[in-house]
Structure 1
């Protein structure tokens, strides 16, 4: 099947929440992406969460979250890979699988600010365009340091996308579950039910 434009969204998804889904959907519509593939990381190189669920459980939650959107898919590519998951290897894989497609990598500001530490950033800029999602009113031009740390080629391949501001994070969801606080309306109901059923993120 030929796909003209393909979006890739990587992450630990520990757990996936509405912030991830809204970012992906806004990117899909704005950039006319035919598909968005969510790729849970097996061993992420830049995160050391003590409460990181195993890969099968995180994959299952992403699968539940994206199932109602025919344009969304989930891939276990990085989970099958031995060792640390590097984005450059994942994007190289999809460029080889879809040589006629324009690849877009969807990322948040938290990833942008550490992007200079990622493996082979110069190669990354050759493999894809970057969609950087921001909250309303954010001005990246104020971030002089990050502009200086990244190669000029990156900025020519980067687009900024303002999305509705949702103050939701995976770490906050985990904290709320551990403290017995509600997480309803922060993530899909199927994922919430699965977390409670499996007693994920509980203290003790």
Structure 2
């Protein structure tokens, strides 16, 4: 019954999509945001004909709870700096202002409630797709948005258990960059220029982040 309902909702989304606003949502810790995130958002925006992409920095991601991360306000401001040059990129405080653990279901439900006429596309790393069925209210995610998994070159994902009509994969070469590698380079005194937007590099240096 639940699978049938998901299929019906997916069909309704497809039927409504012509002439309907399409907006992408890229959630993440963005610790820090880097060019891989920006290229991925741009490629998805082009491939799926999206009007814009909304970046949503998490307050605390459930699967990363307990890991030390930069304060939410720093991550939010770095994301604002990184996206400022593209007028089709925006940044939302929805997760940060809600506080606590940031669940994708709650984020999408809130965005959908604020603008139910929008066709939402949730952008995430393909590696995260492997555990998406373990996320809070996972079945409802596929009703609230089309899920797009962006992959690094050579990444192999088995998505047999995921609803094919609600999930798409897109390979992004620039995703070879990772936030964890950027943090490690900073800790060891190596440069992150050209991996991270210039303004973000300067922000990190100004506030001594990731030292």
TM-score (norm 1): 0.89
Partner in structure 1 of residue 55 of structure 2 = 38
Partners of 1:107 and 1:50 in 2: how far apart? 20
Deviations 1:56-101 (A, max 9, x none): 0000000000000000000000001132111001101111122111
CA distance in 1, matches of 2:175, 2:104: 25
Q: In the alignment, which of 164, 180, 185 is matched to residue 194 of structure 2? A: 185
Q: Offset of 1:166 from its aligned partner?
A: 3.9
| Number of residue equivalences | 193
Whether 2:105 is the aligned partner of 1:88: answer yes
Q: Which consecutive residues of structure 2, in runs of 5 or more, have no partner in the other structure?
A: 1-18
Give 1:174 deviation, angstroms: 0.6
Aligned partners of 1:3 and 1:98 also within 8 Å: no
1:159 aligns with 2:130: no
Matching of residues 15-94 of structure 1 within 5 Å: 15-48=32-65, 50-94=67-111
**Secondary structure in structure 1 of the residue aligned to 2:63:** coil
Unaligned runs of 5+ in 1: none
Structure richer in helix, relative to its length: 2
- Among 31, 37, 40, the residue aligned to 1:14: 31
1:185, distance to aligned residue in structure 2 (A): 0.6
Contact 1:3 1:34 in 2 (8 A): no
Q: CA RMSD in A?
A: 1.7
Q: What TM-score do you get using the length of structure 2 for normalisation?
A: 0.86
1:30 shift after superposition: 0.6
